[in-house]
């Protein structure tokens, strides 16, 4: 309303009325944003907290909304995200796959040590381990190679 040159007294009256009838509710907005960013986009608490701050949500309201995200749900979201994105990098060297997936999790606000652990576990479950070849390079190994001597 400030951009439209609405007098401050009128803007305050309108905003108070909107709040009274439930059209403006920072707590509900924060809860919805946390739920969608975490479940649909796999973002971690840290990234969501930064977004809430950018959107003008006060620290107390943000903290209440973020309470629904615990370490287990954050890790579960990261596992799900890596499982969905890992197939797109099949065929690339394992190191490059790991780096890209860890970077993706970092952009989503996940802690680096958790990101490395989760990416390595998901890649191991999807494509076996990555033993060294004769030149000391890591290589991807298919499930059929894991069982052979």
Task: Determine the Cα angle at 16 with ends 13 and 20, to 5°.
Answer: 135
Predicted pLDDT of residue 10: 86
Predicted pLDDT of residue 19: 78
pTM value? 0.70
pLDDT over 60 at 113, yes or no: yes
Predicted pLDDT of residue 128: 52
- Mean pLDDT, to the nearest integer, of 137-141? 46
| Residue ranges covered by each domain of the chain | 1-69, 70-149
Q: Which DSSP string corresponds to 77-123?
A: HHHHHHHHHGGGGTTS-HHHHHHHHHHHHHHTT--HHHHHHHHHHHH
Q: What is the tens place of the pLDDT at every residue in 14-27?
A: 888 887 777 778 99
């Amino acid at each position: 309303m400030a951009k439209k040159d609405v007098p401050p007294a009128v803007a305050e009256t309108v905003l108070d009325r909107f709040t009274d009838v439930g059209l403006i509710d920072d707590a509900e907005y924060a809860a919805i944003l946390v739920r969608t960013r975490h479940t649909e986009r796999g973002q971690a608490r840290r990234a969501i907290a930064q977004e809430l701050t950018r959107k003008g949500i006060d620290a107390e309201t943000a903290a209440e909304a973020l309470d629904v995200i615990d370490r287990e749900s954050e890790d579960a979201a990261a596992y799900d995200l890596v499982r969905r994105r890992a197939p797109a990098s099949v065929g690339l060297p394992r190191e490059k796959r790991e780096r890209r997936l860890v970077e993706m999790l970092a952009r989503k606000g996940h802690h680096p040590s958790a990101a490395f652990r989760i990416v390595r576990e998901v890649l191991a479950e999807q494509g076996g381990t990555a033993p060294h070849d004769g030149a000391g390079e890591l290589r991807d190994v298919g499930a059929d190679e894991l069982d052979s001597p």
